[in-house]
Amino acid sequence: MPTVDIYNADGKVVGSMDLNENVFGVEVRPDVMHEVVVNYLANQRQGTQSTKTRTEVRGGGIKPWRQKGTGRARQGSIRAPQWVGGGVALGPKPRDYRYNVNKKVRRLALKSALSSKVQESEIIVLDAFSCDEIKTKQVVSLLKNLNVTEKALLVLPENDKNVVLSARNIKGVDTTYVGAINTYEVLNHTKCIILKDAVTKLEEVYA
C-alpha cells in the first residue's frame, strides 16, 4: 500500500496517508492509457473543416471550349479539380470524430495514470486549500511553498469557483475536481496536487 506525506499550504509536512492500492497502486498500463488519451483528443475535435467540390464552387456551368478541333485537351468545366480556382477532389467535409471507449477501460486508464504519478513521486497530497476571494497570489504562494515549478494539476474534491478562477491565469497550472478528472489531464501535467478530501473521494469512486 503506497504511503505519501501530507502537506499544508505552507509546504510543511503535517502527517502521512496510506493510499488505496486499488486506485494508486495498480499495474501501470501504457497501452490502456494511450487508447483513452487518443479517444479523449479525438472527442475534443470540432470536425468543422470543409472544402468545396466542383459542384459547390460558383461558376463553371458551361464547357470552356468545344470537345474537338482546338488542339487542346478536352475540358468540361473550369471548376474541375485540375483548374486553378476549381473544386477540391476528395477534400475534407464536416464530420464527427467522436467514438466511445468502454467505461472499465477508462477507469483502468485513470487508475494507471494516478499509479504512475505515485511511482514517480509526482503526487502531492494537500491537507486543505481554499480561497475566500479570487486571488491569484494565493495559488502562486501555494506552488512556491510546495516547490512546484513544473506543469501542475490541482485536484479538488468538488468544483470551487474561487480556486478555479484564482489559478486560471497561471501558466501551466490547471484545476479539476473528482467528478471531472480524466487520464489526459493527469498525464499532461508533471505534478499532481490532490487535496486530502479529493483522495478520499477518488478512493470511494474508483476502488
For the chain (length 207 residues), average pLDDT per consecutive 10? 87 88 91 96 96 94 94 95 95 96 95 93 90 90 90 91 91 92 94 92 88
Q: Up-side HSE of residue 206: CA atoms within 13 Å toward CB? A: 31
- Strands 191-195 and 152-156, how do they pair? parallel
Would you give the DSSP letter of residue 167?
A: H
Would you give the DSSP letter of residue 28?
A: P
Q: Could you give the residue ranges of the DSSP H alpha helices within 127-177?
A: 136-145, 161-167
The CA-atom distances, in angstroms, between 155 and each of 57, 71, 173, 177, 179 are 50, 72, 11, 5, 10
Residues contacting residue 165 through CB under 8 Å, at least 6 positions apart: 134
For Cα atoms 127, 7, 118, give the angle at the middle one, nearest 5 degrees.
95
Question: What are the grid coordinates assigned to 173, written together?
Answer: 497550472
Q: Are 171 and 104 in contact (CB under 8 A)?
A: no
- Residue 33: what pLDDT? 96
Domain 3-45+97-206 has CATH 3.40.1370.10: yes
Question: What are the grid coordinates assigned to 127, written together?
Answer: 491537507
Number of other residues whose CB lies within 10 A of the CB of residue 190: 15
The CA distance from 160 to 134, in Å, is 11
Domain ranges of the chain: 3-45+97-206, 48-96
The CA-atom distances, in angstroms, between 24 and each of 29, 59, 72, 78 are 13, 63, 72, 63
